[in-house]
């Protein structure tokens, strides 16, 4: 039964890959949702698109721009908070050496960002739609950095999206190769020339390369705003369920990887898209040693996007860590 199911899955996946017309993978702070490009600036969202009107007319692009020329960047706000925020927009040459994997911490490590900046719009409040005109004279790798400073709370949210000018895409060949590998695996199942254990192992290897939508707490860590700390958490409720009181164990390290002990920790948060806070008051009830702290009284009473802000005071440094969850 297991063999038949895996064989059918591999055959279906292989055929699906060949039927895909054209695939664009978004990266950085811009994602595709319901056939629309969306930029996530913290919890603040906007429709994001780029035009090169003189060369390609009304064609829209998510991030990568296929041709040099005068480009128009457009953000149409989905969240009212952006209409009241001070927006600044910077475009720099990508000198991080990390291509499309460059992130905010890589930007902060740049000594002289002004020297590689090709455009900068100073913070300004722009209602409803933000537009930017920039002419690209050279193909290459660039990074867009968008920050939104809430004037009511003073909080600043940032999105980083690496992109390429002169990008033509990787085409369909990687998907064809993946399809051939899946067909080969299907052949192994059908021919029975492999043992069951080897076949299952091969299936696990191939399936592990497919994208997944969830990341467990053990696989992800969060850096603090100023980079002083890095935090991981483990929940005693896995997966986290709605309306269940549970506790977390926070593991806090300094920037150089040392356990942070004796810290003062406070927790707040909520659902910014619904303008309400946490339904409980989580607090540290025990320090477990080696940089671990038990937090009790955590509950999420509805599905959606949540933020938990962990304030850490180690005595020598004070910083905040923002943990985000989609429940």
Contacts of 275 (CB under 8 A, 6+ apart): none
Torsion from C-alpha of 54, 57, 60, 64, nearest 10 degrees: -40
Burial (CB count within 10 angstroms: exposed 0-12, middle 13-18, buried 19+), residue 22: exposed
Number of Cβ within 10 Å of residue 182's Cβ equals 22
pLDDT at 105 over 80: yes
Longest dimension (CA), the chain: 67
Mean pLDDT of all residues in 44-65: 90
Residues 236 and 292 in one domain: yes
pLDDT at 216 over 90: no
pLDDT at 144: 96
Residues 302 and 203 in one domain: no
pLDDT at 238: 87
Number of Cβ within 10 Å of residue 80's Cβ equals 12
Backbone φ and ψ of 153, nearest 5°:
-110, -20
Structural domain ending residue among the three candidates 150, 165, 180 = 165
Q: Which of 320, 314, 319, 321 is nearest to 262 (CA)?
A: 314
Q: CA–CA separation, 282 vs 294, rounded Å?
A: 10
pLDDT at 169: 52
Least confident of 55-64, 193-202, 241-250: 193-202
Residues 249 and 303 in one domain: yes
Mean pLDDT of all residues in 61-86: 91
Cβ(16)–Cβ(172) below 8 Å: no
Q: DSSP per residue over 76-103, as a string?
A: EESSHHHHHEEEEEEEEE--SS-GGG--
Structural domain ending residue among the three candidates 105, 134, 165 = 165
Q: How many domains does the chain have?
A: 3
Mean pLDDT of all residues in 188-201: 57
pLDDT at 312 over 90: yes
pLDDT at 173: 55
Residue 2's pLDDT band (cuts 50, 70, 90): very low
pLDDT at 159 over 70: yes
Residues 13 and 43 in one domain: no
Q: CA–CA separation, 31 vs 25, rounded Å?
A: 9
pLDDT at 194 over 70: no
Residues 156 and 228 in one domain: no
Three-class secondary structure of residue 64 per DSSP? coil
- CATH number at 75 reads 2.60.40.2550
Number of Cβ within 10 Å of residue 86's Cβ equals 15
Q: Which of 87, 83, 167, 160 is nearest to 128 (CA)?
A: 83
Least confident of 12-16, 158-162, 243-247: 12-16
Residue 190 DSSP label? H
Contacts of 94 (CB under 8 A, 6+ apart): 102, 140, 141, 142, 143, 162
Mean pLDDT of the chain, nearest integer = 82
Share of the chain above pLDDT 90, in %: 54
Structural domain span for residue 14: 2-21+171-207
pLDDT at 4: 53
pLDDT at 200 over 80: no
Least confident of 33-37, 96-100, 275-279: 33-37
Least confident of 89-98, 237-246, 257-266: 237-246
**Residues recorded for the chain:** 327
pLDDT tens, residue by residue, 8-29: 555 555 455 444 443 334 455 6
Residues 158 and 177 in one domain: no
Mean pLDDT of all residues in 201-226: 57
Q: How far from 58 is each of 39, 52, 116, CA to CA, in Å?
A: 20, 8, 30
pTM of the model: 0.47
On whether residue 212 sits in a domain, the answer given is no
Q: CA–CA separation, 63 vs 164, rounded Å?
A: 8
Cβ(92)–Cβ(136) below 8 Å: no
pLDDT at 204 over 60: no
Mean pLDDT of all residues in 85-112: 94
Least confident of 60-64, 228-232, 291-295, 307-311: 60-64
pLDDT at 63: 82
- Collect contacts of 235-238 with beta carbons under 8 A, ≥24 apart: 235/298
Pairwise pLDDT comparison (115 vs 27), residue with the higher score? 115
Q: Which two tokens stand for residue 153?
A: 């709370």
Mean pLDDT of all residues in 82-102: 93
Residues 6 and 62 in one domain: no
């Amino acid at each position: 039964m297991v063999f038949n199911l895996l064989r059918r899955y591999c055959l279906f996946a292989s055929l699906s890959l060949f039927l895909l017309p054209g695939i664009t993978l978004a990266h950085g702070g811009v994602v595709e949702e319901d056939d629309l490009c969306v930029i996530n600036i913290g919890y603040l969202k906007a429709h994001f698109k780029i035009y090169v009107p003189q060369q390609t007319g009304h064609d829209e692009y998510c991030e990568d721009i296929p041709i040099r020329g005068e480009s128009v960047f457009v953000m149409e706000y989905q969240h009212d908070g952006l209409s009241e925020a001070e927006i600044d927009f910077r475009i720099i040459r990508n000198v991080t050496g990390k291509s499309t994997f460059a992130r905010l911490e890589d930007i902060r490590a740049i000594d002289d960002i002004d020297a590689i900046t090709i455009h900068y719009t100073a913070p300004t409040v722009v209602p409803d739609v933000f537009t930017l005109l920039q002419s690209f004279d050279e193909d290459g790798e660039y990074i867009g950095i968008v920050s939104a400073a809430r004037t009511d709370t003073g909080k600043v949210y940032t999105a980083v999206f690496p992109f390429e000018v002169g990008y033509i895409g990787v085409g369909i060949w990687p998907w064809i190769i993946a399809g051939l590998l899946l067909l080969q695996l299907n052949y192994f199942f059908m021919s029975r020339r492999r043992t069951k254990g080897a076949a299952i192992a091969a299936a696990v290897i191939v399936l592990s390369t497919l994208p997944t939508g969830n990341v467990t707490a053990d696989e992800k860590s969060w850096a603090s705003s100023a980079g002083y700390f890095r935090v991981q958490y483990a929940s005693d409720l896995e997966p986290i369920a709605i309306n269940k009181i549970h506790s977390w164990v926070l593991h806090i390290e300094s920037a150089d990887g040392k356990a942070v002990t004796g810290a003062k920790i406070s927790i707040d948060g909520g659902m910014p898209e619904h303008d309400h806070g946490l339904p409980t008051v989580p607090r540290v009830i025990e320090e477990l040693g080696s940089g671990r702290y038990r937090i009790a009284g955590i509950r999420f009473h509805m599905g959606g996007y949540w933020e938990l802000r962990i304030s850490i005071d180690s005595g020598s440094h004070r910083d905040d860590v923002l943990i985000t969850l989609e429940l």
